[in-house]
Structure 1
Amino acid sequence: MAITRDSDLHMRRLSRNLGLGVVLLGFVAIVFGLTIVKVERGGKIEAYDHQPRTSMLPPPEAAK
């Protein structure tokens, strides 16, 4: 059995590769979309940067 360019094995590999490419592009699109949303709402998202977060500090009235 000679393996030609249009053999069944090549066609199955091509369809798997195309499916995997679509899945990877979908994943990249989701990560990119989440990144854009986080950047646009930068003031509302607090990251850990070795500083106390203002939302975790007690209110000014309780500090007295």
Structure 2
Amino acid sequence: MAEPVTDRRLTPAEQASRRRRSIALALALVGMVVLFYVLTIAKLGPSLFDRAL
């Protein structure tokens, strides 16, 4: 098996690439959460707001 890399310093280009990838993943996750929320509200329909509290 391959031995794990220990204490490897990333170059500035690698750090920037990792940061962009992390931001893209975070935005994708937030987008999916918003999409699921909107679809759930749309599926429940207007009756969701007509119920007694």
Whether TM-score is above 0.5 comes out as: yes
Q: Flag the structure with larger Rg.
A: 1
Where structure 1 has 5 or more consecutive residues not aligned to the other structure, the ranges are 1-6, 47-52, 57-64
Question: Which structure shows the bigger proportion of residues in helix conformation?
Answer: 2
- Where has structure 1 moved over 4 Å in runs of 4 or more? none
What is the TM-score with the length of structure 1 in the denominator? 0.58
Query: TM-score, length-normalised on structure 2?
Result: 0.69
Q: Structure 2 residue aligned with 1:29, among 26, 29, 32? A: 32
Identity %: 9
- Greater length-normalized contact order (CA 8 Å, ≥ 6 residues apart): 2
When the two chains are superposed, the root-mean-square deviation of aligned CA atoms in Å is: 2.1
